[in-house]
Amino acid sequence: MNPKIKALADEVNAAVATTQEELEAYRMRFISRKNVIADLFAEMKNVPNEEKKAFGQEVNELKQLAQDKFKALIEGLKSNDGENTAPVDLTLPPALSVFGSLHPLTATRQRFIQIFERIGFNVSSGPEIEDDWHNFTALNFPENHPAREMQDTFFIEKNPDIALRTHTSSVQIRVMETEEPPIRTLSPGRVFRNEAISARAHCIFHQMEGLYVDENVSFADLKQTLYHFVKEMFEKETKIRFRPSYFPFTEPSAEIDISCQICHGDGCNICKHTGWVEIGGSGMVDPNVLENCGIDSKKYTGFAFGMGIERIAMLRYGIKDLRLFTENDLRFLSQFKTI
């Protein structure tokens, strides 16, 4: 007998199945469509002509043997059911269930909202496919302004322009068009830009927009609110600084930096050895933007900010590569289990 066939026949003879799993393992190995016996049939073409007949016969016998054994294993398992099984001990503790966990971006978004809800902000949302007015024009981007190019937009239609929104600032407009001040709102959501994927950039990412419009809202309110936010988000004294900047929809505008949570000022790659990391932009809502939405800019002022949720999560958890958020690797995700 061919030694390979002999070894498989011995294996079939010795097989036992006391559980459904063992039965299934046997079925996969000897019965399923792609099983080891089928492999032998496929090998037939390599067998010398004079041995073909005997080989074929032996494989057929092995196949029969494997099928008979399979029936016997099924019968054996059936008759075991209910007879030999030990009585169930109801006093034993239950088997532990494996819990999933929140994605670190979800957890960070929820924490963000929690912090701002406690100081009177609600949550609003807008569409991911946005028109030119809400994404650009109402936000004071003049026609042909280089900032429109700067955003590297994914356009869906041109003239009139429809695009995947490049920032959540579009939701500011939607809220101000439909609500009267006082407005205190947060708008979380996905945004899209034509960027190559790397450790620091992605063509899809998440932002959190904040908007506060009322009488007498000042830059001091903006600073104090964001200072409160970073202290709460990072759960320790975190330094914050405002760097003068430019956005068409705010005047004055400032970039928000916080002290690096990874190296705490010693200098590392994340903060590019400066000790500071940018988490977003902010500023006083430009009076033109208020007027574009029908809000009286003589009576009302406001502040706004937009932050990258990925960036906040990276600093919060010490994550050094943005791609980890979207790879769905359980070795990464299960590190954020809270139970």
Residue numbers at the binding site for ligand DAH (CB under 6 A)? 167, 169, 209, 247, 250, 280-283, 304-306
Nearest distance from C-beta of residue 173 to ligand DAH, angstroms: 11
Nearest distance from C-beta of residue 206 to ligand DAH, angstroms: 11
Give 17 or 176: the residue with its C-beta nearer to ligand DAH.
176
Q: Residue 236 carries which DSSP code? A: S
Is-contact 319 283, C-beta < 8 A? no
Dihedrals phi, psi of 256, to nearest 5 degrees: -100, 125
Give 261 or 282: the residue with its C-beta nearer to ligand DAH.
282
Give 104 or 189: the residue with its C-beta nearer to ligand DAH.
189
Two structure tokens written together for 266:
């010693």
Is-contact 225 197, C-beta < 8 A? no
Distance between the two ends of the chain, CA-based, in angstroms? 58
Nearest distance from C-beta of residue 296 to ligand DAH, angstroms: 20
Give 253 or 261: the residue with its C-beta nearer to ligand DAH.
253
Nearest distance from C-beta of residue 166 to ligand DAH, angstroms: 7
Nearest distance from C-beta of residue 279 to ligand DAH, angstroms: 11
Give 4 or 228: the residue with its C-beta nearer to ligand DAH.
228
Angle at 246 between CA 275 and CA 272, to 5 degrees: 20
Nearest distance from C-beta of residue 168 to ligand DAH, angstroms: 7
Two structure tokens written together for 197:
């994927």
Residue 232: which of 110, 105, 102 has the closest Cα? Answer: 110
Q: Give every strand in the sheet of 155-157, ordered side by side.
A: 129-131, 162-164, 155-157
Give 11 or 179: the residue with its C-beta nearer to ligand DAH.
179
Nearest distance from C-beta of residue 21 to ligand DAH, angstroms: 52
Is-contact 29 35, C-beta < 8 A? yes
Sign, CA torsion 292/295/298/301? negative
Give 58 or 310: the residue with its C-beta nearer to ligand DAH.
310
Residue 7: which of 36, 49, 47 has the closest Cα? Answer: 36
H/E run at residue 217? none
Alpha-carbon distance of 189 to 162, in angstroms, equals 18
Give 104 or 283: the residue with its C-beta nearer to ligand DAH.
283
Alpha-carbon distance of 109 to 226, in angstroms, equals 16
Alpha-carbon distance of 130 to 164, in angstroms, equals 6
Alpha-carbon distance of 158 to 160, in angstroms, equals 5
Nearest distance from C-beta of residue 275 to ligand DAH, angstroms: 22
Give 40 or 284: the residue with its C-beta nearer to ligand DAH.
284
Nearest distance from C-beta of residue 167 to ligand DAH, angstroms: 3
Alpha-carbon distance of 112 to 117, in angstroms, equals 9
Hey, what amino acid is at 138? A
